[in-house]
Amino acid sequence: MDTIFIFFLVLGIQSLIVALTLIFYKSKKQKVNKYLGFFFIFLSIELFSYVLMRNTDQYIATYNPFRFNFLNIILIYFYAVETAGIEIRNKYRYYIPAVLEFFILSLIFVKVNETPDLVYSSKTIIFLYSYIISSSIFIAYMCIRILLVIRSHTTFLPFFYTDTKYKSLLWLKIFCIVFIVYHVIALASLTVLSDIKYMTTVSDSLASLLLYYFTIGSLVQINIVNITSESEVESSKRKQEENKEIYERVSKEIERYMVEEKAFLDQDMTLKTFAKRVGVSSRSISKTINEMEYKNFNMYLNHYRVEEFKTLIESEKYQKYSNTALAKEAGFNSRASFYKNFKDIVGISPSDYFESLNSDAI
């Protein structure tokens, strides 16, 4: 047996082992891994078919129907799509090119076996070149679509995982880019660069390296949970927009009651009482106040009370009043509450604040 066929046999066995590992290995992403598993199954079938046809005429073997150019790239695409959580309707239509590929190649393979001279006919040669070019274009097109899916997956990742290290599909991105380059080189070696020595060897070597890289990437990520969901991301964005609208509406309403109606002047004001007055649930008000970077409703009230006190202390009308009297006028129900909250909010005591006003006046 020739070295090339031993090489195909070894690759076929390796691909089959990898396929069984991906399909039957129990992990949280087993369903997604199955797409890669079936990719390696069809790859092993293709490799074994080359071994079985080792004694077949080289030109006849070229029309081997067990070539899955239009299928394997689809399985990789489905793997990327399922990982990114992007929904695809009518998946079966993606398999139509692969079915046609197998059916047409099978018909031609049977015919060239019955009439070997057909392999040298212009129509058959034109078909072969058309098939190789169209499959390469199709693969490049699907690789670009996979790259777009990977970009979406990269965007989705932070929505689902705090640590995104090792969870990206960077390995698949690299594979797709190099795979496109490989098909460009392969087409060039078949057409415009067909006379250059070792061009085919370079192309075959790159294909082997790509296969091993893809195998390693598949196995490394077999147990790394990195599945996202486009629908969940969209739902989250919609929810954020809805929350933003609610926040803006509620914040405007409670600010109006504070600024225009000075609800904070009521010393007995509570969240429940305020919610009834505004006509918004206590929970919505509490959440909105938290979004406004206040710890709670009381802190929000006291912020306005402190500002009111600062306004009163500078007013000529209230200059004869004591700090305690002004504090009660601003809505505080006790001297202790006033002093504590004033210092917490302003950073200095009311006395120090009053002295700073006097020093500024001088």
Look at the pTM and tell me if it is higher than 0.85.
no
Instruction: Give the span between the Cα atoms of 15 and 68, in whole angstroms.
Output: 14
Q: Please calculate the CA angle 5-44-88 and round it to the nearest 5 degrees.
A: 150
Least confident piece of the model among 70-74, 75-79, 217-221, 323-327:
323-327
* Mean pLDDT computed over 181-190: 82
pLDDT in tens, 194-207: 555 566 677 778 88
183, 213, 228 - which closes a domain: 228
Same domain flag for 236 and 203: no
- Report the pLDDT averaged over residues 21-36: 92
pLDDT at 74: 97
pLDDT at 68 over 70: yes
Q: Give percent of the chain above pLDDT 90.
A: 36
Q: Are residues 180 and 286 in the same domain?
A: no
Predicted pLDDT of residue 188: 78
Arithmetic mean of pLDDT, 148-153: 95
Are 263 and 269 in contact by the 8 Å Cβ rule? The answer is: yes
Residues 62 and 207 in one domain: yes
pLDDT at 100 over 70: yes
The total domain count for the chain is 2
Dihedral angle of Cα 156, 158, 164, 168, to the nearest 10 degrees: 10
At residue 118, does pLDDT exceed 90?
no
The most distant pair of C-alpha atoms in the chain lies apart, rounded to whole Å, by 117
* pLDDT for residue 194: 52
Average pLDDT over residues 354-361: 68
* Residues belonging to the chain: 362
% of the chain at pLDDT higher than 70: 94
Give the pLDDT score at 187: 81
In the chain, what is the straight-line distance between the N-terminal and C-terminal CA atoms, in Å?
Answer: 106
pLDDT tops 80 at residue 191: no
Q: Does one domain contain both 246 and 337?
A: yes
What is the C-alpha separation between 360 and 345, in angstroms, rounded?
Answer: 21
Model confidence at 362, in pLDDT bands (50, 70, 90)? very low
Distance in angstroms (rounded) separating the CA atoms of residues 207 and 183:
9
Q: Tell me: pLDDT of 143 over 90.
A: yes
CATH number at residue 94: 1.20.1070
| 185 and 52 inside one domain | yes
**Domain end residue (candidates: 228, 253, 276):** 228
74 with 127, same domain?
yes
Residues 210 and 160 in one domain: yes
Q: Specify burial of residue 350 (Cβ count, 10 A radius: 0-12, 13-18, 19+).
A: buried
Please give the pLDDT value at position 198. Answer: 62
Task: Tell me the per-residue pLDDT of 318-346, one tens digit each, with 9 for 90 and over.
Answer: 777 888 888 888 898 888 888 898 888 88
Give the mean pLDDT of 142-153. 96
Q: Confidence band (pLDDT; 50, 70, 90) for 66?
A: very high
Q: Residue 313: which pLDDT band, with cuts at 50, 70 and 90? A: confident
Q: Are residues 172 and 262 in the same domain?
A: no
* 197-225 mean pLDDT: 85
Q: Which residue type sits at 90? A: N
Q: Which domain holds residue 259?
A: 232-361
65 and 30 within one domain: yes
Q: What is the pLDDT of residue 199?
A: 62
Q: Identify whether residues 241 and 186 lie together within a single domain.
A: no
Q: What is the reported pLDDT for 1?
A: 53
pLDDT (0 to 100) of residue 5: 76
Domain boundary among 228, 262, 297: 228
Q: Burial, 191: exposed, middle or buried (Cβ in 10 Å; 0-12, 13-18, 19+)?
A: exposed
CA–CA gap between residue 338 and residue 99 (Å, rounded)? 81
Is the domain of 200 the same as that of 334?
Answer: no
Average pLDDT over residues 248-264: 86
Q: Which pLDDT score is estimated for 220? A: 93
Residue 297 and residue 240 in one domain: yes
CATH value at residue 281: 1.10.10.60
| Calculated CA dihedral for residues 200, 99, 54, 38, nearest 10 degrees | 90
